Structure 1
Amino acid sequence: MTRELTQLELLRELEPVAEENVHRHLSMAKDWHPHDYVPWDDGRNFAALGGVDWDPTQSQLSDVAKAAMVTNLLTEDNLPSYHRVIAENFSRDGAWGTWVGRWTAEENKHSVVMRDYLVVTRGVDPVALENARMTHMTAGFNPDLQEGLLDAVTYVTFQELATRVSHRNTGRACGDPIADRMLARVAADENLHMMFYRNITGAALDLAPAQAMRAVVKILANFQMPGATMPQFRRNAVLIAKGGIYDLRQHLDDVVLPVLRTWKVFERNDFNGEAETLREELDELLNGLRADAERFEEARDRALARAAERGKVTVR
């Protein structure tokens, strides 16, 4: 039986891959500045400075867009927790340390630009937003990463891609070309971040197939977005799913399956023993996700049909 690699051995063996991907990221990343994506001319003082405080009529966003923007922003806000998790499971030295710092700095831009946009355009209640931020960040984020490095890179691979999908669809849902442009820029960052983590996990599948597959199956079986503990997350998640921002079908078709295809999980012939057993478990897990997605779509279609019928009755 192949010996399990320790966390230190995994870090050492995978560091050349991390270094290569840091260089790739820096060559592909585009500099941008949050202030260039905010319509400052729309801004005005609130009551504390002699202006007018927020009221719901000032927002130009739909309920779906507001729920998605708040959820995405509060997710980005919890960056200190994510930095801690990544730093604890990676290293502050060498390529790992360079990535931790660069990734943290880039992610911070996302919360800056989204908050500035929402406050300036009065898209959501800034007091409620700040209260939710305080609650969410005080609770923090503490995922179950018993496998350390491999759990961390696997989780963030799927999470970064899920976030990219959510940001991109939220931009379209806002009905504002400025918001769409802003969130397209944020989504592009998230995609590059996903590629870094995806490539590390892919290399881990070559290096330690059973250990890496253990992480893949565990993360997908228990996957939750990092915003799951924020105030009103369940309500907002339902609105987001019904509104086509992010639902089970998108999670499966736009996030999970593309990553697994890139890793060639079901095409590999170097799996045996535990890795092969875990691949069979993964196949069963995917079948369950497909069934869940179909049930959600059927329920959503029925709800939309009922709503349309009620609309016809109201018109008459």
Structure 2
Amino acid sequence: MTLSSTQHAGTHEWTDTRLLYALEEVVEKELNRHLSVAKDWMPHTYVPWSDGRNFDGPLDGEPWAPDQSKVTDVGRIALVVNLLTEDNLPSYHHEIATLFGRDGAWGTWVHRWTAEEGRHGIVMRDYLLASRAVDPVELENFRMAHMSEGFESDNRHSMLHSVAYVAFQELATRISHRNTGHQSGDPVCDRMLARIATDENLHMIFYRNLLGAAFEIAPDLTMQAVRDVVVNFRMPGHGMPGFERAAARMAIGGIYNLRIHHDDVIQPVLRFLKVLQIDGLGPEGLKAQEELGLYMSGLDGEARKFDERLAARNARKAARAEA
């Protein structure tokens, strides 16, 4: 992508309001494209209702026990993390509605995105309870704790930072859901999460294309936003109870780790938008691009170390099993 010097001149004049206005037509175009390809689906059709039965409590049912679950240990951990992440939808809606507004194409997208995301929490919770995949009391306690904290973006409430963040985060969520399904040990769970992942991929495409348009009109500022987001990236569920321990288990289990983050999340977006090949940048944009390239090299190195540690761990585990 080649940009003329006039495109990055005067970037100090780009306020959030001006950027929202400048990108309105792109949002409308992407919204219409999204609506033309998105398929409505019914959450209740993905839930194994025939497996369900009453829990202990007012209905005097059967208490939950781990041996009632068809799901693998790592699958249960990831399902709880993924559902708790979806549960904070009211906070996410507040964040993007505050930044993007509720009027015009931006507002229409905000509400459509929220409605589509709402299905994910509905179907996941119904599946988990009907199939007795996780402890329902622990799940509810975690939900109350996590939602009571709410969610506040790391992105300094800059519109460009938020667009950059969701372009990567939607893909990260898609990958996490898809890999959780693969590792769950339950074909019903795998099918449900594949359907959710399809939505997340369409959301990623919307934000990725919007980010590409932002590079065209404000390349220096957009490059700085992408650098900041990539270098400081955290999943939105980072504040939930026990997240660090759960994330470690998910990393070892092949659901989400440094290698996946580098190869399947950050690199595809950067490569699609040719972020590291953009020229014609001003001093601040060029500095951000160089820093982004250096960070990606370092991230690849950290991912390589993780791969080596994981391979050694698996080798030790295999040796113990043979002995």
Q: Which TM-score band (shorter chain)?
A: over 0.9
Map 1:128-167 onto structure 2 (within 5 A). 128-146=138-156, 148-167=158-177
Q: Distance in 1 between matches of 2:60 and 2:15?
A: 60
Note if 1:224 corresponds to 2:234. yes
Note if 1:69 corresponds to 2:75. no
The answer (yes or no) to whether the contact 1:166–1:245 under 8 Å persists in 2 is yes
Secondary structure of the structure 2 residue equivalent to 1:293: helix
Aligned pair count reads 313
Partner amino acid, structure 2, of 1:38: V
Note if 1:273 corresponds to 2:291. no
Partner of 1:294: 304
Partner of 1:2: 10
Deviations 1:172-201 (A, max 9, x none): 111222111110100000000011111111
Q: Distance in 1 between matches of 2:247 and 2:71?
A: 17
Moved more, 25-34 or 295-304: 295-304
Partner amino acid, structure 2, of 1:222: N
The answer (yes or no) to whether the contact 1:78–1:141 under 8 Å persists in 2 is yes
Note if 1:31 corresponds to 2:37. no
Q: Distance in 1 between matches of 2:75 and 2:51?
A: 19
Aligned match for 1:182, one of 192, 195, 219: 192
Deviations 1:265-285 (A, max 9, x none): 122233232111111111101
Unaligned runs of 5+ in 2: 1-8
Query: Post-superposition shift, 1:236?
Result: 0.9
Query: Post-superposition shift, 1:233?
Result: 0.7
Secondary structure of the structure 2 residue equivalent to 1:92: coil
Note if 1:54 corresponds to 2:61. no
Deviating above 4 A after TM superposition, structure 1's stretches of 4 or more consecutive aligned residues are none
The answer (yes or no) to whether the contact 2:215–2:223 under 8 Å persists in 1 is yes
Aligned match for 1:43, one of 52, 60, 84: 52
The answer (yes or no) to whether the contact 1:171–1:184 under 8 Å persists in 2 is yes
Please, what is the CA RMSD of the aligned residues?
A: 1.0
Q: Distance in 2 between matches of 1:248 and 1:127?
A: 32
Query: Post-superposition shift, 1:24?
Result: 0.6
Q: Distance in 1 between matches of 2:192 and 2:17?
A: 39
Partner of 1:208: 218
Q: Distance in 2 between matches of 1:104 and 1:147?
A: 19
Query: Post-superposition shift, 1:230?
Result: 0.5
The answer (yes or no) to whether the contact 2:11–2:220 under 8 Å persists in 1 is no
Moved more, 184-193 or 229-238: 229-238
Higher RCO (CA < 8 A, seq sep 6+): 2
Q: Distance in 2 between matches of 1:50 and 1:280?
A: 63
Aligned match for 1:16, one of 3, 17, 25: 25
Partner amino acid, structure 2, of 1:145: N
Partner of 2:204: 194
Query: Post-superposition shift, 1:306?
Result: 1.4
Aligned match for 1:258, one of 255, 268, 277: 268
Deviations 1:294-315 (A, max 9, x none): 11111111111111222222xx
Deviations 1:90-141 (A, max 9, x none): 0110000000000001101000000000000000000000000000011111
Query: Post-superposition shift, 1:262?
Result: 1.2
Q: Distance in 2 between matches of 1:148 and 1:210?
A: 14
Partner amino acid, structure 1, of 2:29: E
Q: Distance in 2 between matches of 1:278 and 1:183?
A: 36
Q: Distance in 1 between matches of 2:267 and 2:155?
A: 22
The alignment's TM-score, normalised by the length of structure 1, stands at: 0.97
Change (3 A) 1:220 1:3: closer
Partner amino acid, structure 2, of 1:37: Y
Partner of 2:96: 86
Query: Post-superposition shift, 1:147?
Result: 5.5
Q: Distance in 2 between matches of 1:137 and 1:215?
A: 27
The answer (yes or no) to whether the contact 1:147–1:215 under 8 Å persists in 2 is no
Secondary structure of the structure 1 residue equivalent to 2:23: helix
Partner amino acid, structure 1, of 2:51: D
Q: Distance in 2 between matches of 1:58 and 1:105?
A: 32
The answer (yes or no) to whether the contact 1:151–1:215 under 8 Å persists in 2 is yes
The answer (yes or no) to whether the contact 1:160–1:191 under 8 Å persists in 2 is yes
Partner amino acid, structure 2, of 1:103: W
Moved more, 265-274 or 205-214: 265-274
Partner of 2:4: none
Partner amino acid, structure 2, of 1:28: V
The answer (yes or no) to whether the contact 1:135–1:230 under 8 Å persists in 2 is yes
Query: Post-superposition shift, 1:159?
Result: 0.5
Partner amino acid, structure 1, of 2:223: M
Secondary structure of the structure 2 residue equivalent to 1:47: coil
